[in-house]
Structure 1
């Protein structure tokens, strides 16, 4: 029995693994954020477009770790076409974290001390600022400009 437990690995006590649905209030889009947490429970995850960040509210009862798989469509950090570093704040203080990247998501692991109430992940972009309606309005505006320009050009010739 002991060899089976050692070969499989033993989960940390009180580990919580789940997904959380984050909904962007502006666009109405929903994103699934996978997470694993020890020593705490997540109360809420919200998007802050003005700060290009994801805010995780939690209740921490002991030292632990938070691992989150963040879809790039929800939050990302880019410098041109290249990946840039996230900034991670634990109760407002900058902290070190580990990160793994794939083309579709980025997974971060951060230590959370006892009594932590908030973790903030800051990127360079969070949920596209312009939804489908804004794209439609832009297309209509471009078509209108082309039509007006074409009519005006005919008058000058």
Structure 2
């Protein structure tokens, strides 16, 4: 995400970009699971979903307004990836990292569930990843709200 251009960040702040990325995650899991039926043919749906996830931040126009939860989440993430950790306000340093750890744990469990075709592990792990990502994203909204007035550039992102 750190390599996105200003224009791509603007486009990614469109709520359609955020919500379709959310929707794509279970589709990706299903595409990987489809190897049970499709064998190597599962590469096709997996490739399509991965291509969508790569293209997604560029797929939509900049939003008419960024004064919404999804847009602020992207704007906060933009700040998060641009700042050195010691530049992030102290009260915003821990929760995103903990959310990342939960997401990583869920991802490991998800890989296990997908490898052994355990539907219960796969679904629970996918839910853990989504909940952890949602917690992270919500913290990015808080980060943006707390920092939007610290620099004119950040404030200009809100319209």
TM normalised by structure 1 equals: 0.25
Report the structure number with the largest CA radius of gyration: 1
**Higher strand residue share:** 1
- TM-score normalised by structure 2 residue count: 0.25
Q: Higher relative contact order by CA 8 Å / sep ≥ 6: 1 or 2?
A: 2
